[in-house]
Structure 1
Amino acid sequence: MYLSQLHLQGFRTAADTKISFQPGVTVLVGENNAGKSNVMDSLRHLTQPLDPRERSPYPSGDDLHRDGCAEGQHGKACRSSIDLTARYSSDNPADLHLYSSAFVNEQQQTHTEDQQNQRTAPHDTARSMSYSLTITPPTTPLGTAKRSWVAGTGNTADRDPEPAARDRIRHVYLPPLRDARRELGSTGSARIQHILDRLLRDEAEREAFLSHIGTVFGKMAEEKPFQDTVGAVQERLAGLTEGAHPQVAGLSFADATLQSIARNLRLLMAQIGLEPRDLAESGLGYANLMFMATVLTQLEKAAEADLTLLLVEEPEAHLHPQLQTILLAYLAQETRRSQLRETDPDGWLGRVQVIVTTHSPHVATAVDPRNLVVLQRRAVPAVALPDAPAAEFTELADPAEAIEGSDATPAEQVHARGRSFTTTAVSVGRLDLPGDDHNKIRNYLNATRNVMLFGQRVLLVEGIAESVVLPAFARTLFADDPARLQRFHGTALVPIDGVDFLPYLRVLVTPDPDTGRQIARRVAVITDGDAGLDKREKIAKTRIADIRQLVAATGVGELFHNTFTLEAELLMAGGVNRDLLQRAWQTQRPQAWVEDWKVIGKGKPDEQARAMSTILDSKKNIRKGDLAQDFLAGAEQPFTRTSFVVPDYLANALRWVTEELSD
């Protein structure tokens, strides 16, 4: 049993957003303000905390998606409630037998959806059930939010006939920006008490423990310094009370309760072989892992629920890359362990599912790409007005132009139709990709290449040489256009170390079948034509044709290719480039460079380029990445437009990928 889909309507940044999840671990990636934390909070609304002491988020008017309206200025057509729906699935129908009132009406699915489900994840099959929550936030500061639940398709008079079943699905929440030292220091006794509570669930065992600790406390109070303290107080107390009703002083520890015991305990830590010390003396990363360890102890109690969602925000906080990978591997192990857990005698399934938000490429590469969901912040038309489908919305040019069938004033209609931002999702596991693509992406994506999932602009290049020169070229091209230069800085520059662009392109431009959204909004591919290199030239022509066909069908991609190779194209661009390349070449081939450049000659530019391409293809000791570095090192510093000449195809690619997007 696992959470397979979440549908958010009108919740904060989500106007109407569907997100698909995989069993085990799902990692939500994306830029800031994409809505990752909002997804986590929606799940906290939809499920009960495993620890009853955890506070669930309280809905407020600010949680309503604003539909493009200014604060406090909702129009009549704006939404007044939040709708959240969680869908759960299982490969074993017996897992859902207690949720019969929440079964999904499968007849409502289309034939297309069924085909997609057979092709991808097992959710949306007959083994699914759902719970929907409608929240009406308070309209006044002292008001109370209203909640109403619907189980399944809600086709009965009682739309939530078995609320107790809903409570069998729980969550454990690990917040972002954790201050582990504070949480586990003087204010962290509640976590220690929670662990003690879990370990001492047997009443007789608890009473025996507390009785023993009470005896220990009593003996401690008999120590001489404590008795001397009592004597010093008694001497003065006697002088103050002997004229009336004499009093006697005593001293003891607080009653032995788990709370009083935990209040005086502190967790200590050190590397194995050293004496554990206060957490203030540990690094932030390991202190953070200690905090996580205390939270994860709650998963032992997951055996008392059918499904526990472990919600972890930004696990990378204070952790170096290797620890991030170790942490994700551990969380995945927790989910696998829960799948092997036998059903509890009381009927609990005890399944655990992990959902993680991250900004770290290292965390994202620690899971299979199918387990990634890319969240983005996109501009969309605002709310649907009567008789006006949302897909047809545009801003009204004339405020006097009213919409037939709407009771809103023209000004309200213009306001309601203003631009709004919403969270959109692309679940990689739901993309209709060839099987080989999934395997290639899993093998190819590393922490460097994975950055293409975090932004909306991607620049795909063959290798290290292009990734070296393009930032310098962008700085010179956009020296007078700081906004465009910033857009380049926000572009993922990804060297794929080869020419097999199609798997990368497909994952970036294939729409999610649930949302219709793609990961990228603009993808530029830069590749070589390899002219003059016989078989490689023929292969390049086929590759270019395949890429062109794919990008033409997407509307978000563009192909930029040269005739020869990068180095030859730099030579053909002319100007100071020939001298820069010659000096860079001399650095790598100090003895043979003269003969090489005699072969290159000073003929027509295309003849020089063809000769250089042939030499580069045959001289395996020429390192193209180093050649690019040396080319830039020899240029006039700081870089200006006279430092080098940018080939046209590269300039065009940089200008295209940094164009301002329309929405």
Structure 2
Amino acid sequence: MYLSRLHLQGFRTAADTKLTFQPGVTVLVGENNAGKSNVMDALRHVTQPLDPRERSPYPSQGDLHRDGCAEGRHGTKCRTSMDLTVHYSSDNPADLHLYSSAFIQEQNPSQVAKSAPLDTPSTIQYRLSITPPATPLGMARRTWVAGSGSTADRDPEPAARERIRHVYLPPLRDARRELGTTGGARIQHILERLLRDETERDQFLSNVSETFNGLAAEKPLQAAASAVQERLAGLTEGAHPQTAGLGFADATLQSIARNLRFLMAQSGLDPRDLAESGLGYANLMFMATVLTQLEKAAEADLTLLLVEEPEAHLHPQLQTILLDYLTQETNRSQARETDPEGWLGRIQVIVTTHSPHVATAVDPRNLVVLQRRAIPVAATESPRGEEPVRTPAAEEPSVDAEIADPANADPKSLRREPAFITTAVSVSRLALEATDHNKIRNYLNATRNVMLFGQRVILVEGIAESIVLPAFARTLFADDPARLQRFHGTALVPIDGVDFPPYLRVLATPDPDTGQYIARRVAVVTDGDAGRERREALATSRIEKIRQFVTVNGPVEVFPNTYTLEAELLRAGGVNRDLLMEAWKLQRPRAWVEDWAAVGKGPADAQARAMSELLDTKDIGKGDLAQDFLAGAGQPFTSDSFVVPEYLANALRWVTQEVSDEHA
């Protein structure tokens, strides 16, 4: 049993957002403000916390999706409630026999891919409608519907729904504070979970009390009591004489935990105060205390472990180790036998992250990419007392009527602010062929995975292009800081080859459930390899395939050169020839004169062809040549430092166009 789908309608930035989850670990990636935390809060609304002490988020008017309305000016047709719909699936129908009132039939999202067998596993559905309070002191109204809601009682078995729980690990954790002076409450919770048997608890408290009484008999404590007694006697003997003594308060789990602190040190050393540990390891200890709650997962059918930004304070290797540990937790829960009381005890992990290292620790099909999209809506003035007429901006894609045409309470308004919505692309739903999936799984590393975190991507063949493009952008956009910032927000991905299609199928194939792409723009920079017949033919075929992909799918453009990067730098002219010659000298100090004699001083095209042929026969490190080319130009770079080849300039200009230009 696992959470398979989530459909959010009218919840914060999720106007109409659908997500697909995988058994085991699902990682939500995306830029800031994409809506990752909103998804986690929605899951906290639709499931009960495993620890009853945890506070679930309380709905407010601010949770309602705002379709560009001014603050406090919702119209009569604006949303007053939000709908959160969850699907839970299982390949074993017996897992869901207690949820018969919520039973529906649908295709398993994990089997949408062509390579997966087609069948119709069992699925249950719950929909939660929340109407936030109209005033700060009001009460929110929650309505549940199980399955299709076709019965008179739309949620006839609420106790079944409560068998699905969550454990929440918040972001921005202050581990030293949580485990230090305020750590007693967390220690108390752990002790209470371990001492659920009343007889065992009473024996523990009796043992502690006996130990405390023994401590109270120590001479320094007795001496302190005597010192007080001597003075107390003088103060009370004229009335009702009093006797003083020292002892410990009655032993309770709360009083014991209040005086305990978590300690830690590297293995082999005595544990010390957390203040002496680094933030990263202290953060891991905090996680470990939260993960102890998973012992109670055996008393639920499904427990969602919701982890926000696990990478906080962790170096890359620890991030990978953490994700591997969480995966093992889910695997162990799947192997767990059903509890004698009927609990399934399954664990599913959902993680939000900004870390490529975390994102690459799971199979690509376990990734969901969230993005923030602006839907600008124009409004024209209407006669007094009538609703304003609104039309979506011409450049933007159509959206459903509830998003594109809600009423506004202010008929005098001529224009509303753009509405920002969360969109989702679940990689598992892109129907990747098995060969594509294997390639993407092997290709994605912490460098290439950054393409999932932004809206713009430049795919290049190798390291040389990735070295020179940032410098070229700085000079090309020296007088256009907004465009330079958009380049800084672009993922520059060297694929170390020419096999672009698997990347394009991930980045520029629409999610069949949402119609959204991972990338808004993908620029492919590739060599034409002119002058080498077989490679030129292969390059022509490769470029044509990319262009065919563009016409079928979407936001992709190819920017080929004629030869290779180095030859194109030479062909661009200006100071580039001298810069390349000096860089070439560093790699071939004895043979460079002969090499450049072969390049000659003829027409630019002839020089480029000759250099292309040299690169095929000489031992030249292209990455080193690119580094030395830029080093010779000196810094800071200016428009006179070098000449940017036209095909690269075109790629940089195209990929950094404003988002509002995307559909122009």
- Pair 1:244 & 2:242 matched: no
Distance 2:176 2:118 in 1: 41
- Pair 1:326 & 2:321 matched: yes
Amino acid across the alignment from 1:163: P
Shift of residue 617 of structure 1?
A: 1.2
8 Å contact from structure 1 (residues 284, 318) kept in 2: yes
**Cross-structure match for 2:312:** 317
**Cross-structure match for 2:93:** 93
8 Å contact from structure 2 (residues 300, 345) kept in 1: yes
Shift of residue 534 of structure 1?
A: 2.2
**Cross-structure match for 1:400:** none
8 Å contact from structure 1 (residues 77, 383) kept in 2: no
Distance 1:522 1:501 in 2: 15
What are the within-5 Å matches in structure 2 for residues 561-600 of structure 1?
Answer: 561-600=560-599
Distance 1:73 1:359 in 2: 34
Q: SS where residue 441 of structure 1 aligns?
A: helix
What are the within-5 Å matches in structure 2 for residues 351-366 of structure 1?
Answer: 351-366=346-361
Distance 1:138 1:374 in 2: 32
Amino acid across the alignment from 2:322: L
1:281 pairs, out of 276, 296, 302, with 276
Q: SS where residue 659 of structure 2 aligns?
A: coil
What are the within-5 Å matches in structure 2 for residues 365-380 of structure 1?
Answer: 365-380=360-375
**Cross-structure match for 1:629:** 627
2:229 pairs, out of 219, 230, 234, with 234
Identical amino acids, percent of aligned pairs? 77
- CA pair 65-197 structure 1, distance change in 2 beyond 3 A: same
Amino acid across the alignment from 2:638: T
1:202-239 CA deviation, whole Å, 9 max, x = no partner? 21111111111111111111111111111111112111
Shift of residue 193 of structure 1?
A: 1.2
Shift of residue 435 of structure 1?
A: 1.3
Amino acid across the alignment from 1:79: R
Distance 2:254 2:599 in 1: 83
Distance 1:562 1:439 in 2: 29
The number of aligned residues is 645
Between stretches 625-634 and 406-415, larger displacement belongs to 406-415
Shift of residue 126 of structure 1?
A: 4.3
Distance 1:4 1:415 in 2: 43
- CA pair 118-468 structure 1, distance change in 2 beyond 3 A: closer
**Cross-structure match for 1:457:** 456
- Pair 1:419 & 2:418 matched: yes
Amino acid across the alignment from 1:430: R
1:264-321 CA deviation, whole Å, 9 max, x = no partner? 1111110111111000100000000001111111111100000000000000000000
8 Å contact from structure 1 (residues 577, 645) kept in 2: yes
What are the within-5 Å matches in structure 2 for residues 495-510 of structure 1?
Answer: 495-510=494-509
- CA pair 95-392 structure 1, distance change in 2 beyond 3 A: farther
- Pair 1:428 & 2:427 matched: yes
**Cross-structure match for 1:157:** 152
- CA pair 391-36 structure 1, distance change in 2 beyond 3 A: farther
Distance 1:424 1:6 in 2: 13
8 Å contact from structure 1 (residues 67, 416) kept in 2: no
- CA pair 395-79 structure 1, distance change in 2 beyond 3 A: farther
Distance 2:9 2:520 in 1: 23
Q: SS where residue 160 of structure 1 aligns?
A: coil
- CA pair 394-561 structure 1, distance change in 2 beyond 3 A: closer
8 Å contact from structure 1 (residues 50, 302) kept in 2: yes
**Cross-structure match for 1:142:** 137
8 Å contact from structure 1 (residues 90, 123) kept in 2: no
Amino acid across the alignment from 1:604: P
Distance 1:89 1:96 in 2: 8
**Cross-structure match for 2:605:** 606
Distance 2:576 2:394 in 1: 49
8 Å contact from structure 1 (residues 120, 430) kept in 2: no
Shift of residue 84 of structure 1?
A: 0.5
Between stretches 241-250 and 21-30, larger displacement belongs to 241-250
Distance 1:73 1:311 in 2: 34
Amino acid across the alignment from 1:229: A
8 Å contact from structure 1 (residues 14, 35) kept in 2: yes
8 Å contact from structure 1 (residues 374, 519) kept in 2: yes
Shift of residue 416 of structure 1?
A: 9.1
8 Å contact from structure 2 (residues 113, 428) kept in 1: no
**Cross-structure match for 2:641:** 643
Write out the 4+ residue segments of structure 1 that deviate beyond 4 Å after TM superposition: 112-116, 120-124, 381-384, 406-418
Shift of residue 241 of structure 1?
A: 1.0
- CA pair 251-395 structure 1, distance change in 2 beyond 3 A: farther
Amino acid across the alignment from 1:149: W
Q: SS where residue 101 of structure 2 aligns?
A: helix
Distance 2:126 2:411 in 1: 34
**TM-score, normalization: structure 1?**
0.94
Amino acid across the alignment from 2:440: I
Distance 1:77 1:285 in 2: 49
Distance 2:176 2:109 in 1: 50
Distance 1:381 1:356 in 2: 31
Shift of residue 122 of structure 1?
A: 8.7
Q: SS where residue 574 of structure 1 aligns?
A: coil
Shift of residue 552 of structure 1?
A: 2.4
1:129-184 CA deviation, whole Å, 9 max, x = no partner? 01111111111111111111111110111000000001000000000010011111
1:347-390 CA deviation, whole Å, 9 max, x = no partner? 00000000000000000001111100000000126799xxx9x9
Distance 2:113 2:560 in 1: 38
What are the within-5 Å matches in structure 2 for residues 464-503 of structure 1?
Answer: 464-503=463-502
Between stretches 187-196 and 153-162, larger displacement belongs to 187-196
1:265 pairs, out of 241, 257, 260, with 260
Between stretches 38-47 and 245-254, larger displacement belongs to 245-254
**Mind listing any 5+ residue stretches in structure 2 that lack a counterpart?**
380-386, 396-401
Distance 1:615 1:380 in 2: 52
- CA pair 173-114 structure 1, distance change in 2 beyond 3 A: closer
Shift of residue 6 of structure 1?
A: 0.5
**Cross-structure match for 1:109:** none
Shift of residue 121 of structure 1?
A: 7.6
